[in-house]
């Protein structure tokens, strides 16, 4: 038995929260519990979890998961599940390192050799998004994701819909596959119009067509279109996904493995999705440990389709690149729209611990921007 003797967390730029677990045999595992805009809250939840985990057998990963999930009385939600996610990832990473095997091997072995990936593109105008898409193509991507609309009122005129169409058309002309993210900021009267207008352009998928608290409305939209609808970054467990699977409201499940219970729960959500003929495309606009966890899971899931990754220009900060804290950044090289399955021990990425500790001396306090419409009313993120 290897007992947990320490658990630390590090708030590092741009908005990430890393977890480090060490056992009495000297083995170390890293995970990521990033929850954008709420890092301090997750850090507090990690402090509470530490009290239960010190002295626990680190090889009993599922027992640790159940203990943290069930014995706090209050369960679920973004803060508690993000803390649990970072712990779970770190325990899997440590176990893989002890056995000198990638986590994918511990999950039953890979079903593919390469993993298709896509990257985010920003830009407010059609010309901007086309230029950003061209940059992604040079980086090796053959698929990207973009905002469907910068902001849209509950009811808007034809120009708002036309702008969304023009933005997508400009990027599609680059030859890339394009996912469109509505961020739940479009309401049902406009969502139906936007989806209908975008459908002829063949988007790869449309994400968060409506907020996830409206499953019945999402089911209505999916019944009206052939475009695959994706959702899941704001769902935190298999129980949160359950009604969407049962109502056939989504085509692609997007659990975030730093929010939705880590690798352990991510695997259960993926298997559950497969029984409903729903694809898996993990959400991950986060750091290297979150991405590595997603890639380990993606390697093992038959229903996996594509993985989000935040390489290069995502944050527009020199010290905030996905590769900043890695000693082996080459394992995330993108070629022909995909990355190779990670074969290193554990999560397959090597963290530069000295750099992490130095960066955490000034913990980030990242907050979501506040958006308002022309009339001064708040808009969704």
Q: Which residues are catalytic?
A: 183, 283
> Which tokens in the block code for residue 163?
């702008």
Residue 183 φ/ψ region, left for φ over 0, alpha for ψ in the -120 to 50 degree band, beta for the rest = left
Within a 13 Å sphere around the CA of 335, how many CA atoms are in the beta-carbon half?
Answer: 7
In sequence order, which ranges of 71-125 are alpha helices (DSSP H)?
78-99, 103-106
In the 8-state DSSP scheme, what is residue 23?
Answer: E
Write out the DSSP string of 151-164: ---SS--HHHHHHH
Determine the longest span between alpha carbons in the chain, in angstroms: 65
Tell me the C-alpha distance between 69 and 63, whole Å: 10
**Judging by beta carbons within 10 Å of its beta carbon (0-12, 13-18, 19+), is residue 5 exposed, middle or buried?**
middle
- CA angle 114/180/127 to nearest 5° reads 105
- CA angle 317/320/325 to nearest 5° reads 155
3-class SS of residue 192 = helix
Tell me the C-alpha distance between 255 and 207, whole Å: 12
If one counts every other C-beta atom within 10 angstroms of the C-beta of residue 207, the result is 26
> Which tokens in the block code for residue 226?
């052939």
Write out the DSSP string of 274-336: HHTT-EE--B--S-HHHHHHHHHHHTT-TTB--EE---SSSS--TT--TTTTBS-GGGG--BT
């Amino acid at each position: 038995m290897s007992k947990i003797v320490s658990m630390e967390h590090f708030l590092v730029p741009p908005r990430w929260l890393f977890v480090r677990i060490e056992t009495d045999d000297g083995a170390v595992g890293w995970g990521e519990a990033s929850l954008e805009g709420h890092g301090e809250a997750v850090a507090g939840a990690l402090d509470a979890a530490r009290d239960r985990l010190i002295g626990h057998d680190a090889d009993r990963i599922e027992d640790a998961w159940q203990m943290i999930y069930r014995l706090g009385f209050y369960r679920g939600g973004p803060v508690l599940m993000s803390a649990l996610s970072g712990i779970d990832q770190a325990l899997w990473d440590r176990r893989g390192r002890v056995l000198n095997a990638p986590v994918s091997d511990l999950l039953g072995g890979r079903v593919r050799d390469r993993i298709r990936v896509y990257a985010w593109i920003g830009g407010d105008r059609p010309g901007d998004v086309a230029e950003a898409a061209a940059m992604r193509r040079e980086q090796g991507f053959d698929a990207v994701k973009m905002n469907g609309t910068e902001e849209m009122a509950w009811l808007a005129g034809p120009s708002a819909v036309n702008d969304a169409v023009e933005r997508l058309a400009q990027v599609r002309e680059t030859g890339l596959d394009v996912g469109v993210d509505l961020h739940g900021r479009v309401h049902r009267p406009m969502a139906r119009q936007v989806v209908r207008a975008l459908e002829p352009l063949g988007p790869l998928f449309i994400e968060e067509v409506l907020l996830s608290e409206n499953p019945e409305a999402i089911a209505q939209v999916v019944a009206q279109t052939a475009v695959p609808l994706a959702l899941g970054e704001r769902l935190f467990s298999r129980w949160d996904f359950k009604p969407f699977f049962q109502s056939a409201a989504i085509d692609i499940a997007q659990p975030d493995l730093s929010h939705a219970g880590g690798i352990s729960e991510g695997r259960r959500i993926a298997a559950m999705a497969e029984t409903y003929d729903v694809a898996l495309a993990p959400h991950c606009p986060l750091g290297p440990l979150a991405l590595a966890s997603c890639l380990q899971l993606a390697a093992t899931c038959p229903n996996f389709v594509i993985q989000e990754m935040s390489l290069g220009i995502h944050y527009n900060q020199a010290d905030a690149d996905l590769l900043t804290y890695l000693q082996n950044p080459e394992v995330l090289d993108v070629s022909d729209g995909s990355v190779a399955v990670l074969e290193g021990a554990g999560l397959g990425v090597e963290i530069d611990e000295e750099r992490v500790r130095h960066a955490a001396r000034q913990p980030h306090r990242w907050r979501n921007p506040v958006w308002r419409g022309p009339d001064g009313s708040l808009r969704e993120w």
